[in-house]
Structure 1
Amino acid sequence: MKISDLITVRDRKSYEFVSRIKKRGNYYFFPDIVFGFEASPLKKENTKSSAEILGISVYRSIVYPEKNYNFLVQIARLIEEYISKTGNKVRLFAFDSGSENDTLSAIEIFKLVNHPEKHKKIEVVIFDGDIQSFVNKFSECSYIIGTRFHSIVLSLIQKIPCYPIIYSEKTENLLEDLGFSGKKIFWDKLTTNEVFFLLDQILKKVDCFDNANIDKARSLSKHFDVLKDFLNNFTHK
């Protein structure tokens, strides 16, 4: 890192860390690169479902596998309560279908849900490389419980009300940079009380993010711009 010609980071804490070890000023802090995407796959389609759909980004830890079960049980409980109170559908989004494989968590949550209509009400959506199809399913949701980092970013881009569940320091850093002032909920310590808190947020459609900060993040995400300038300067040396 000390000898790198160019470094871009996506949160302020990382920037402060790099600044302590780099003597040259060739490092930059910009919001996550996805905030800057204007390409059609990430834009919200005009196919909003008339029905209310709760989207939940699930998570599976391979570092702390012993902590997975409580998360799965609590999310299953949230789904049971949501379906019972609203009769609406739920989509479980598996953003990672690779090494951590959120698909396994989605399937296990489905099994744990104790509701007679769960086969009609719950859909598992797995990212298989088809960005447009995945994002279309995501954009039809009326509220998002976001555990995966990019589920939060994507909900913000598409202006879908979202409540985050923190699974890593990078999520905490994102929330801090966006000025998040809501209750912090951690995936590995999810409690029954927090499940009912989340349910209340969902039913009230509480949007806990400042749109001004989000718009600013989108305007400042310039990772590719800096890289382009760097490569142009490098090739003309």
Structure 2
Amino acid sequence: MNILVSAYLDNNIGDDLMIILLSKKFPEHNFYLTSSNSTVKRTFESFDNIIFHELDLSDKYLKKFSVFLSIGGSLFNDMNGILGGIRRIRRIRVLRLMKKKNIKIATIGCNLGPYKNSIGPLLTKIELKQNSLTTVRDKESFHLIQKFKKVKNYHLAPDIVYNLSNLYELPYGNQQNILGISAYRSTTNHEYNYSNYIFLASVSDKFIEQTGGIVRLFAFDTENENDLSSAYHIKENSLYPDKIQIIPYIGNYIDFIQLMSECSRFISIRFHSAILCEMLKIPFLPIVYSNKMDNYLDDLHFSGIRISINNIPKSSREIEEITACLIENQQIFNDFSNDHQLEFEKHFNELGKLLK
């Protein structure tokens, strides 16, 4: 079966893993992605059933497709402005066109929002009404869908990336005194970026001074969002740049995860850094830049420290206290007793029913 896929393609390990897991779960199907970015394409060169194409909405071209699948987390976070609303209306028109041509519509692995007005939920409801299947990854999104009339066949399941544990044996090589940080550069709230860099450099310095260890800065996205910029700013502002390593994701997800697994503690800003830390059993301090991290932590009943990206600690005392919590494994996420095994497969299991 030929399946049209809408996904976020930016050399982002979280989104790339979702596509890779989809490809491996359904090797009998072909997945058509749209991107002209040669760097993005390179990541998927070894997957025979991932095909890059230029989307053509003509009847002749669409005839060969049976499903239009949207996969990814933050698929509904761009409707708070006028341009975002216009783009969403155009997308809904395309979905309706495909539905008229008997192409099934599905959306899996997403969270809804955040929304700043009533337009976002309204457009989300209109879009999801076109779907034959919807799966979401947090309870807040699920409860919102429950309020939407005429949206059918929707399900709640933990993030798709948890399926990675079915793909290969995860490494558990936590070493002493390695602090990992998911570097992050906001493309929308630029005013908070530099204070974030200074804070992370300060915590890195305190960790190095008190443990004699090292710090690894992980760039989870290395294209347009460009976490590498953040990583270099953090290293530049550190007192111990020779003790700081920068680890970019450039399509090498196995090597990237291996280096993550060696960390003894982590500061998670990127959503999938938190997911991978939980899977790798690495205690982590969450820094929240979006509702998806808050919803994830709430679903796991986390009551420890969570720092908002727009309210970064600045005082020496706060930095000392946070570093102590990291080193002593206090008030950070360290509960790895949750067993998602029976739940996370639901995204693909429900999709499999649609593809029969």
Unaligned runs of 5+ in 1: 233-237
Question: Structure 1 residues 209, 81: CA separation in 2 closer, same or farther (over 3 Å shift)?
Answer: closer
Normalising by structure 1, we get a TM-score of 0.89
Residue in structure 2 matching 1:56, options 173, 177, 181: 181
Which residue pairs with 1:26 in the alignment? 153
Residues 201-216 of structure 1 aligned to structure 2 (within 5 Å): 201-206=325-330, 208-212=333-337, 214-215=338-339
Residue in structure 1 matching 2:290, options 159, 168, 178: 168
Residue in structure 2 matching 1:65, options 190, 213, 216: 190
Which residue pairs with 2:230 in the alignment? 105
**Partner deviation per Cα, 1:123-179 (whole Å, 9 max, x = no partner):** 000000001110010001011111100000000001111121111111001001111
- 2:144 pairs with 1:9: no
Look at both structures and tell me which one has the larger radius of gyration over its CA atoms.
Answer: 2
How many positions carry a matched residue from both structures?
A: 225
Question: Structure 1 residues 198, 42: CA separation in 2 closer, same or farther (over 3 Å shift)?
Answer: farther
Question: How far is 1:24 from its partner?
Answer: 4.4
Q: 1: distance between equivalents of 2:194 and 2:233?
A: 9
Which residue pairs with 1:143 in the alignment? 265
Question: How far is 1:71 from its partner?
Answer: 0.4
Q: 1: distance between equivalents of 2:353 and 2:164?
A: 18
Residue in structure 2 matching 1:220, options 324, 337, 343: 343
Q: Whose strand fraction is larger, Structure 1's or Structure 2's?
A: 2
Identity %: 36
Q: 1: distance between equivalents of 2:318 and 2:352?
A: 45
Cα RMSD after superposing both structures = 1.7
Other structure's SS at 1:35 match: helix
**Partner deviation per Cα, 1:179-225 (whole Å, 9 max, x = no partner):** 1111221122111354333201111023534333x21x343112111
Which residue pairs with 2:275 in the alignment? 153
Which residue pairs with 1:96 in the alignment? 221
Unaligned runs of 5+ in 2: 1-127
Question: Structure 1 residues 71, 41: CA separation in 2 closer, same or farther (over 3 Å shift)?
Answer: farther
Q: 2: distance between equivalents of 1:209 and 1:85?
A: 21
Which residue pairs with 1:124 in the alignment? 246
Q: 1: distance between equivalents of 2:328 and 2:226?
A: 31
Other structure's SS at 2:282 match: coil
State the one-letter code of the partner of 2:350. V
Please tell me whether the aligned partners of residues 178 and 210 of structure 1 are also in contact (alpha carbons under 8 angstroms): no
Question: Structure 1 residues 131, 178: CA separation in 2 closer, same or farther (over 3 Å shift)?
Answer: same
Q: 1: distance between equivalents of 2:168 and 2:310?
A: 32
Q: 2: distance between equivalents of 1:44 and 1:139?
A: 6
Normalising by structure 2, we get a TM-score of 0.60
Q: 2: distance between equivalents of 1:175 and 1:15?
A: 15
Q: 1: distance between equivalents of 2:199 and 2:278?
A: 24
Q: 1: distance between equivalents of 2:341 and 2:166?
A: 13
Q: Which has the higher contact order (CA 8 A, sep 6+)?
A: 1
Which residue pairs with 1:229 in the alignment? 353
Worse overlay, 68-77 or 196-205: 196-205
State the one-letter code of the partner of 2:296. L
Q: 1: distance between equivalents of 2:169 and 2:221?
A: 17
Runs of 4+, deviation exceeding 3 Å: 39-42
Question: Structure 1 residues 31, 55: CA separation in 2 closer, same or farther (over 3 Å shift)?
Answer: same
State the one-letter code of the partner of 1:231. L
Question: Structure 1 residues 218, 71: CA separation in 2 closer, same or farther (over 3 Å shift)?
Answer: farther
